[in-house]
Amino acid sequence: MEWPVAVLAVWSVTSALSLCSPNYYVLDDGAGLGRVFDGVGGLSGGGATSRLLVNYEEPYRGQILDYLFKPNFGASLHILKVEIGGDAQTTDGTEPSHMHYENDENYFRGYEWWLMKEAKKRNPNITLIGLPWAFPGWVGHGKNWPYDFPDITAAYVVNWILGAKQYHDLDIQYVGIWNERNYDSKYIKVLRSMLDRVGLSDVGIIAADGDWSIANSMIIDQLLYDSVEVIGAHYPGTTTVPDALKTQKALWSSEDYSTFNDEVGGGCWARILNQNYINGLMTATISWNLVASYYDKLPFGRDGLMTAEEPWSGNYVVESPIWITAHTTQFTQPGWTYLQTVGHLAQGGSYVSLTDGKGNLTVVIETMTHNHSVCVRPPLPKFNVTSQNATFQLKGSFVSIKELHVWRSQFNFKTKKPVFFEKQTPLTVMNGSFTLNLAEDEVYTLTTITTGQKGSYPDPPPSACFPKVYKDDFNVRNPPFSEAPDFADQTGVFEYYNNLTDPGPHTFTLRQVLTERPITWATDADQTISVIGDYEWENLTVTCDVFMESVRTGGVFIAARVDKGGQSIRSTNGIFFWVFADGTYKVTNDLAGQAVLAEGQSGTRAYGWHTLSLTVTGPLASGMLNGYPLWKNAVVLNPKNGWAAIGTHSFELAQFDNFAIVAQ
């Protein structure tokens, strides 16, 4: 028989559990406190993980944002970390830079500005962080490395922070250091000096935003030590290293989770939110990613706190990590302090306790079993969790607490009927003590805070495939975002282009704007490409007007059945119909242009509009140029399905207009 919580609390007073029992836990602030809590957050970027979110229509877009950021509603996130777009592939796509070129500044490209403002509307106290995952090529003067000219790189980052304030009234509190595999001590010092010089001394540096290795350098280099406010690690596996602890700096898991957002993903998130502090004294944990709002077949599909990948239907899914987040975020705030009395439960699981220093107490308990809390990385050592009774004794300033509010999540893996973030009957505390019957795979919050709420909206529209008939003429005079709806740039940057000096039919187009390979750690392609549509498409016709701006070397393509994206974009296959400014065409089975299916003369030239049409049916593909057949019946055995796409032969200026798809 499972006793109600309140009955167990009374029973605990005369329980046979002695004060020496391993199932007895003290919550006490009398001997001092632990570290200051800095919050729980989500990460938009690294890269292009919020790409489809901006294309949702209201009210659904606002509802998604409420589940993420609205206090006392859903995840109620304390931190939003965004990518400082660098024009490069950085996992699932490309985000545009505020400085494509050295003499270019534009602080309205991309959607991260919009996202930060929407988060701020809902939670004015949210902590904002920027991190460059990549840089435009000019920053490295031709090298795939951004630190040979630290003054240039620092100015590039500082300009972004200043632009956030000047153009969007956004105060960036922290900036991270690229990249997770390397750091440059000289650059960090230059960045700190430049921030201070322009009045941004309140902006903290998170370094190396990768692993803990910078800690050793900080111990022996006082100027580096003074430059860094937070040591940030990615996927630390809940542990830190002695050198990091020696620094006495704040320690953050500045990128974590990265796990498919089913119930096991929710279990991963529940475990690390507690144990990052218990095992590693990390006072903030930030999820990659914030919301899975990118095409599902890109790398790490559905690795967000919730899923919003169908703007064409309006469908979204509030996944388990949203409610697991709420167990902590709705009942704590940055500035609260961990008690020293935190730790592991005797039969597995863990508990943390935090206070605001004003008499409030929040305790979060998780009993996630090994197989139900595996994260994508790092490997999880074996451990056991079994059902248990746990008695908690309140001491110090908490001894007078008479009642605690209770919120519970039960994953119920056996019945496959989970219940998340359910409010329970308040728990009566007798003589400062209470006992809980803890089953496997549960999360509890016990708190003096009364404002918790499980927010809800009416069900969104049902899931639906990408429309089989799709058109876009890009005729938007003042577009709300620099990218056209539903296009997902994988290499290169495709932006709305309004050539208002040309009154012709192609005044408004989509333009690929990069002329130089950016600096990135990911595998970029030599060709630029933006994908769109349904990955399951097999038979379809893609049509688009194209305009080359490179006289001798220009080339553009339209494509179907594109089978890879993200970090794998260099090796993608499909059916690619290319035309070139030298008057030739080519049909290839790969983006690299090596597997040639057909080729010949086309008569195409730069600075003239041409209409390309590609039809793929079964194993055969045909192409038309300006309404006339150019080639037909090219045999294509693989791939069998994939996205539609547009792109260019190299990093070069080119324009696209009147894009259309008809799929069967």
CB 393 within 8 A of CB 29: no
Q: How far apart are CA 351 and CA 359, in angstroms?
A: 19
The secondary structure element, H or E, covering residue 163 is: helix 150-168
> Which pair of structure tokens corresponds to residue 368?
């996630």
The reply to whether 180 belongs to the active site is yes
Residue 342 tokens, joined: 């935190």
- What is the three-state SS of 613-657? EEEEECCEEEEEECCEEEEEEEECCCCCCCEEEEEECCCCCEEEE
Q: What's the token pair of residue 112?
A: 């991260």
The answer for residues whose C-beta is within 8 angstroms of residue 83's C-beta and 6 or more apart is 44, 45, 46, 47, 90, 95, 112, 130, 131, 132, 133
Q: Per-residue DSSP letters for 534-601?
A: -TT--SEEEEEEEEE--TTT-EEEEEEEE---GGGGGG-EEEEEEEETTSEEEEEEETTS-SEEEEEE
Among candidate residues 83, 112, 118, 180, the one labeled active-site is: 180
Cβ contact 565:643 at 8 Å: yes
Question: Tokens 């796990």 identify what position?
Answer: 259
Burial class of residue 266, CB neighbours in 10 A (0-12, 13-18, 19+): buried
Which is nearest to 39 in space by CA: 227, 249, 276? 276
Amino acid present at 418: P
- How far apart (Å, rounded) are the C-alpha atoms in residues 474 and 56? 17
Q: Are strands 315-317 and 337-339 parallel, antiparallel or unpaired?
A: unpaired
> How far apart are the C-alpha atoms of 370 and 353, rounded to whole Å?
23
- 162 in helix, strand or coil? helix
Residue 90 CB coordination number (10 Å): 28
Beta bridge partners of 206: 176, 230
- Residue 495: C-alpha distances to residues 159, 408, 481, 548 (Å): 21, 46, 9, 15
Residues 6+ apart with CB under 8 A from 414: none
Secondary element (H or E) of residue 469? strand 469-472
- The C-alpha atoms of residue 256 and residue 269 are separated, in whole angstroms, by 9
Angle between helices 112-122 and 60-69 (to 10 degrees): 70
Residue 370: name the closest of 453, 267, 472 by CA: 267
DSSP class of 125? T
Residues near 126 by beta carbon (within 8 Å), at least 6 away in sequence: 69, 77, 78, 79, 80, 119, 120
User: In the numeric block, which tokens belong to residue 77?
Assistant: 């996130």
Task: Please choose, from the candidates 244, 241, 196, 239, the residue with its C-alpha nearest in 3D space to the C-alpha of residue 218.
Answer: 244
The one catalytic residue in 83, 95, 112, 255 is 255
Structural contact between residues 529 and 585, judged by C-beta atoms closer than 8 angstroms? no
- 255 labelled catalytic: yes
- By annotation, the residues acting in catalysis are 180, 255
